[in-house]
């Protein structure tokens, strides 16, 4: 899966267009990142930049932007309505896809360390990356702001996480860390401002005060009125959409609106939204309405429709969903996205990759897809109407396996290339030998874990495929047979790749564990294939 990190640096300049554009240009010039938004504010004298990319790429882009700011922003002359303590005031990193919060903590630390070393400025860590309990939030660290920073730096408790205590007048100090993705989400009401705010108070976590807390955790909200639209809105910040998803906020607002006899006219997302947030909503409405939807695109459209996200203006998924903006889609790489002809020619070329591992993943994905097809050719047809409930249960795991195996086609080749890069590292000195040895070990384990993950994914297909063979459309029996053989072949291919890469791992408990897992999963694949073929043959007699 493609790793995506969002970075939202706030620079203390919101009026000088040349400086604002110079910082934006530095980000745009960085490979592997996409600048999504530049939001300057004259009264705050502050500009918020939003860009996304891989873990290493966002760090490089943030440093490039900071270099421009260091040359062009002078905090001794800065005035603005927003609290601030530095030219690059705060630089949070937010996990979006395929990246854990723990990984983002390491990313923030890398950025902070490099920023302090390169520019000679003090840097503090906050949020999940904070090193001290009394300075986890921005208000705690910003207390006294830029004007009080010189005296603050000499206090032992306020020694920076990176850099010295020396006050840098032109810069001040920077805070970096990790936070969850914040969704700015508005719900439209045919009501007054006061009615909208009344519902907002019911919903938001702080409610009306300590004795009257609201119903939704990780939710900030107020009510306001839009004169140009002639409607009110509940304006929400969902600070952790895993705790309070958009659809939960929307449905709770609808309950309160119904009690007040207020019309709800859809909702809107301000800025960008992670794909997972829309899929959460889709799964809720699929379950609530007992729908049967498999494809991601259709799920996204369902969420847009049920939440009314296009009520005020069209919601274009390609422009509003982060993963689609950066072309990440479902994490399928170049090999998986290419044509069959390109893939076959690539395998046949005089290169070691793509090789057997990528072919095994391709074959396995086709096997799961054939099982899905048999289910699709059974579901919704009048003569097999009695099987609809079974097909609703059996098709999704096979479909999920088929789609989720696609990234594995590229993963095997990427793991092999990473191993070869590690092997080629210099080893002229003892230090270089140590670096190379560690890199080779990490890369070797990855070449084993990738095919082992393929075996585990294949293992999830046998139970639904065997049942599909017992009840599915028998006009498609050859597809079931081919599908089972493809999955078994994929398992054999993954097993062989585990074995060949184990040769690069020293003897020990870890090596034995990998081998045992691979052998067990291969035997389960052989039994699964036999079971599918046996069921088909019984029904064909």
Catalytic residue IDs? 82, 412
Centre a 10 Å sphere on the Cβ of residue 428 and count the other Cβ atoms it contains.
Answer: 7
CA gap 476, 174 in Å, rounded? 63
Helix (H, G, I), strand (E, B) or coil at 474: helix
CA gap 252, 275 in Å, rounded? 22
Placement of tokens 């020293």 in the chain? 506
Return the closest-CA partner of residue 139 out of 130, 150, 126. Answer: 126
- Phi and psi at 145, nearest 5°, equal 50, -160
Task: Tell me the DSSP string of 453-466.
Answer: HHHHHHHTTHHHHH
CA gap 375, 387 in Å, rounded? 10
CA gap 293, 396 in Å, rounded? 9
Return the closest-CA partner of residue 194 out of 222, 173, 161, 227. Answer: 222
Centre a 10 Å sphere on the Cβ of residue 220 and count the other Cβ atoms it contains.
Answer: 18
Spell out the long-range contacts of 23-28 with Cβ–Cβ below 8 A and sequence spacing 24 or more.
23/47, 23/49, 23/65, 23/68, 23/69, 23/72, 24/49, 25/68, 26/61, 26/64, 26/65, 26/67, 26/68, 27/51, 27/61, 27/64, 27/65
CA gap 39, 47 in Å, rounded? 5
Q: Crossing angle of helices 477-502/509-540, nearest 10°?
A: 170
As a three-state string, the secondary structure of 349-416 is CCCCCCCHHHHHHHHHHHHHHHHHHHHHCCCCCHHHHHHHHHHHHHHHHHHHHHHHCHHHHHHHHHHH
Q: Crossing angle of helices 388-404/462-471, nearest 10°?
A: 140
Residue 232's DSSP bridge partners are 189, 225
């Amino acid at each position: 899966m493609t790793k995506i990190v969002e970075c939202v640096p706030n620079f203390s300049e919101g009026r000088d267009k040349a400086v604002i554009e110079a910082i934006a240009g530095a980000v745009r010039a960085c490979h592997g990142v996409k600048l999504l938004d530049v939001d300057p504010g004259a009264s705050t004298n502050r500009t918020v930049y939003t860009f996304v990319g891989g873990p290493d790429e966002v760090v490089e882009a943030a440093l490039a932007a900071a270099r421009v700011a260091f040359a062009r922003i002078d905090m001794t002359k800065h005035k603005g309505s927003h609290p601030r303590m530095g030219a690059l005031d705060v630089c949070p990193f937010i996990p979006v896809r395929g990246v854990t919060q723990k990984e983002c903590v390491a990313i923030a630390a890398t950025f902070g360390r490099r920023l302090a070393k390169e520019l000679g400025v003090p840097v503090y860590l906050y949020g999940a990356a904070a090193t001290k309990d009394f300075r986890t939030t921005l208000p705690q660290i910003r207390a006294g702001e830029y004007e009080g920073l010189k005296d603050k730096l000499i206090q032992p408790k306020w020694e920076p996480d990176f850099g010295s205590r020396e006050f840098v007048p032109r810069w001040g100090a920077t805070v970096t860390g990790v936070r969850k993705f914040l969704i700015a989400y508005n719900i439209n009401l045919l009501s007054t401002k006061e009615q909208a705010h009344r519902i907002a108070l019911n919903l938001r976590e702080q409610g009306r005060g300590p004795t009257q807390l609201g119903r939704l955790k990780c939710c900030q909200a107020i009510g306001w009125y839009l004169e140009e639209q002639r409607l009110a809105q509940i304006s929400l910040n969902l600070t952790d959409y895993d705790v309070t998803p958009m659809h939960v906020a929307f449905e709770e607002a609808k309950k309160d609106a119904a009690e007040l006899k207020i019309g709800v006219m859809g909702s809107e997302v301000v800025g960008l939204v992670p794909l997972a947030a829309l899929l959460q909503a889709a799964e809720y409405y699929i379950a609530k309405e007992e729908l049967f939807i498999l494809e991601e695109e259709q799920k996204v459209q369902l969420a847009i429709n049920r939440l009314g996200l296009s009520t005020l203006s069209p919601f274009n998924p390609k422009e509003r969903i982060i993963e689609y903006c950066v072309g990440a889609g479902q994490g399928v790489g170049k090999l998986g996205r290419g044509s069959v002809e390109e893939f076959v020619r690539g395998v046949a070329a005089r290169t070691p990759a793509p090789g057997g591992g990528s072919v095994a993943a391709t074959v396995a994905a086709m096997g799961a897809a054939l099982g899905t097809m048999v289910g699709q050719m059974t579901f919704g047809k009048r003569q097999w109407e009695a099987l609809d409930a079974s097909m609703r249960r059996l098709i999704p795991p096979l479909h999920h396996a088929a789609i989720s195996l696609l990234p594995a086609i590229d993963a095997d080749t990427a793991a092999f290339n990473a191993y070869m890069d590690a092997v080629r590292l210099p080893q002229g000195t003892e230090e270089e030998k140590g670096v190379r040895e560690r890199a080779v070990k990490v890369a070797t384990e990855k070449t084993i874990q990738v095919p082992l993950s393929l075996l585990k994914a294949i293992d999830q297909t046998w139970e639904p495929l065997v049942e599909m063979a017992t009840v599915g459309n028998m006009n498609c029996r050859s597809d079931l047979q081919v599908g089972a053989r493809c999955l078994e072949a994929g398992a054999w291919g993954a097993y062989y790749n585990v074995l060949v890469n184990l040769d690069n791992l020293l003897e020990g408990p870890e090596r034995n564990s990998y081998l045992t897992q691979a052998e067990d999963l291969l035997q389960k694949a052989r039994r699964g294939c036999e079971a599918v073929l046996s069921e088909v043959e019984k029904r064909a007699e």
